[in-house]
Amino acid sequence: MGQWYESISPDFIEWIKKQKIFFVATAPLDGRGCVNTSPKGHDSIRVINSNQVCYLELSGSGIETQSHLEENGRITFMFMAFEGGPRIMRLIGTGRVVRLGCPEFNQLLEDHFQDSDLYDAQGKRAIILADIRKVGTSCGYAVPYYEYKGPRPTLVNFFSKKDDAAMDAYWKLKNKFSLDGLPGMRHEMMGPEWVGKNRGPGEPVMLPSSWMAAEGPMTASNITAWIKSGTGAANLTILSVGIAIGAGVNALINRRR
């Protein structure tokens, strides 16, 4: 049934090339946070070597994968056979975000994606580059057969109508925070206030002492994202304490009058 390997064998690489869809899973460090799973289509993934893969990420309404990778680097890829012999394959490792427009992005794009249908597509957001430490296969006996009819063009067509300024506005509107309030898109093209460090090869994940410290001064949008990142009970407790402190300060001021 299930087996584990230390690298992606040549046979596995050829099998991965034939798959038309894969999934990536990430999660924040906070145990209350949202575990994210994203499906990926088009000709978007490349196996660079036996322990490294990358995929070309298009823009979307969420920013979970990038936010989680910037915080802790953990990622799992899952492939499954919908035709031919049954198989499920998971690639477990650590990844980083290579942002659109940086020299490493441009090099990866030229080296690995010139033959992809996404090479000239508008809406490219990043390349996710992952170092794989475990490769797992399992039977896949319960995965049904499906017939592949072709890539769905809707997302590519949607972003093809947007110029660079419209893309920046879309990222600022949709990709500012993850669902749990982690910092989202950090890109030079969006202005100095949006620039974030693009972690280089071999660099460890540097965890901020707190999300608020990484995010900077308190703003209305920060407060909203921070509230969303907590549980209802926790937020209610903090709000109650704040009200009590405020009432105490107000009573003290009135007494001194």
pLDDT in tens, 24-69: 999 999 999 999 999 999 999 999 999 999 999 999 999 999 999 9
Give the domain range for residue 172. Answer: 3-208
Confidence of residue 193 (pLDDT cuts 50, 70, 90): confident
pLDDT for 63: 97
pLDDT for 99: 94
- Total domains in the chain come to 2
pLDDT for 212: 40
Dist. CA 123–CA 155, nearest whole Å: 9
pLDDT for 241: 65
Q: Count helices and strands (H / E) in the chain.
A: 8, 8
Q: Is 221 helix (H, G, I), strand (E, B) or coil?
A: helix
Tell me the pLDDT of the chain averaged across its residues.
87
118 token code pair: 């996404």
Q: Which CATH number do you get for residue 74?
A: 2.30.110.10
Confidence of residue 113 (pLDDT cuts 50, 70, 90): very high
Per-residue pLDDT tens digits for 139-165: 999 999 999 999 999 999 999 999 999
Indicate if 168 and 256 belong to the same structural domain. no
Chosen domain end from 171, 188, 208: 208
Amino acid at 84: G
Indicate if 148 and 43 belong to the same structural domain. yes
Rounded to the nearest angstrom, the gap between the alpha carbon of residue 253 and the centroid of all alpha carbons in its chain is: 49
Indicate if 186 and 121 belong to the same structural domain. yes
Indicate if 8 and 116 belong to the same structural domain. yes
Indicate if 203 and 255 belong to the same structural domain. no
Answer with the residue of higher pLDDT: 193 or 3: 3
- Asked whether the predicted pLDDT for residue 1 surpasses 80, the reply is no
Indicate if 74 and 119 belong to the same structural domain. yes
Indicate if 19 and 126 belong to the same structural domain. yes
Indicate if 61 and 116 belong to the same structural domain. yes
Indicate if 225 and 118 belong to the same structural domain. no
Phi, psi of 58 (to 5 degrees): -85, 160
The structure's pTM equals 0.80
Indicate if 158 and 236 belong to the same structural domain. no
Mapped to the 3 state alphabet, what secondary structure does 61-125 carry?
CCCHHHHHHHHCCEEEEEEECCCCCCCEEEEEEEEEEEECCCHHHHHHHHHHCCCCCCCCCCCEE
Chosen domain end from 191, 208, 225: 208
